[in-house]
Amino acid sequence: MKIDVVTVFPEYLSPLDLSLIGRARQRGLIDLDVHDLRRWTHDVHHSVDGAPAGGGAGMVMKPQPWGECLDELVFQRQGPGEEKPRLLVTSPAGRPFTQAMAHELAAEPWLMFACGRYEGIDQRVVDHASQAMEVTEVSIGDYVLFGGEVAVLAIVEAVARLVPGVLGNAASLDDESHNAGLLEAPAYTRPAEWRGLEIPPVLLSGDHGKVDRWRREQALLRTAAARPDLLARLEAGSLDERDRLL
């Protein structure tokens, strides 16, 4: 998978060199480039922002550097018949990023992230790019960040671990979908007793049926406590008879 990230703070993306993502890059599973938007400015101050039309606080990113950036990275790089990237524009006003969207993005051959800063990017950048490629404005949650860089770190990590070969143990992905729509049960590892607290004995019983049942109950209890919205959204029929007895 090819990933391009365009930002005014390239060093903000340096964690992508580390750990599992860094290893996936070294192994050629992910081809990731980070670009400095200021490369496509022409004035001495390398300015990328301007006052909002209509007035108001903050600054808006100018369309010109983004336009020239996309011209170079997308249109001039494209051979005949080649695919275009899926463009993701970070914005607190975007579509909420979810595990379902992570799966959707993991199936794309080429992702390009445009990190918005200040009060966002001139809307014409999205409107113009939409004429040539699929553009999705995306948010990672209902809170406001200074810019999209941290959002891109989160999204790239969630997507990369779904790319075949990136995760060492593919079984952990199966486990996740098995638990679809519920939070995970709590996890423990030895010692069996630590500071007077015990691992729930069922987990040490060796009875896999009982362990599965216990995990299912814990997942339901945790979800009801922390995310009642998720329980309400569970597909009809996904709760079985024994769940109903809880």
**Binding-site ranges for ligand 6GU (CB under 6 A):** 90-92, 94, 138-141, 143-145, 147-148, 151
C-alpha dihedral sign at 11, 17, 21, 24 = positive
Identity of the residue, 142 or 241, whose beta carbon is nearer to ligand 6GU in the bound complex: 142
Q: Tell me the CA distances in angstroms from 66 to 80, 105, 116, 122, 184, one per residue in order.
A: 23, 22, 10, 9, 41
Identity of the residue, 113 or 182, whose beta carbon is nearer to ligand 6GU in the bound complex: 113
What is the C-alpha to C-alpha distance for residues 96 and 108, in angstroms, rounded to an integer? 18
Output the smallest distance, CB 240 to ligand 6GU, in A. Answer: 36
Identity of the residue, 6 or 185, whose beta carbon is nearer to ligand 6GU in the bound complex: 6
What is the C-alpha to C-alpha distance for residues 55 and 37, in angstroms, rounded to an integer? 25
Q: How many CB atoms lie within 10 A of CB 216?
A: 18
Is position 234 annotated in a ligand binding site? no
What is the C-alpha to C-alpha distance for residues 122 and 37, in angstroms, rounded to an integer? 14
Output the smallest distance, CB 139 to ligand 6GU, in A. Answer: 4
Identity of the residue, 10 or 120, whose beta carbon is nearer to ligand 6GU in the bound complex: 120
The beta strands (E) that lie in 174-237 are given as 193-194, 197-198
Is position 145 annotated in a ligand binding site? yes
What is the C-alpha to C-alpha distance for residues 213 and 139, in angstroms, rounded to an integer? 35
Is position 116 annotated in a ligand binding site? yes
Output the smallest distance, CB 113 to ligand 6GU, in A. Answer: 10
Output the smallest distance, CB 20 to ligand 6GU, in A. Answer: 22
Q: Taking a C-beta distance cutoff of 8 angstroms, is the pair 217, 246 a contact?
A: yes
Is position 29 annotated in a ligand binding site? no
Which phi and psi angles does 243 have, rounded to 5°? -60, -40
Identity of the residue, 65 or 147, whose beta carbon is nearer to ligand 6GU in the bound complex: 147
Output the smallest distance, CB 120 to ligand 6GU, in A. Answer: 8
Extract the annotated binding site for S-adenosyl-L-methionine.
116, 140-145
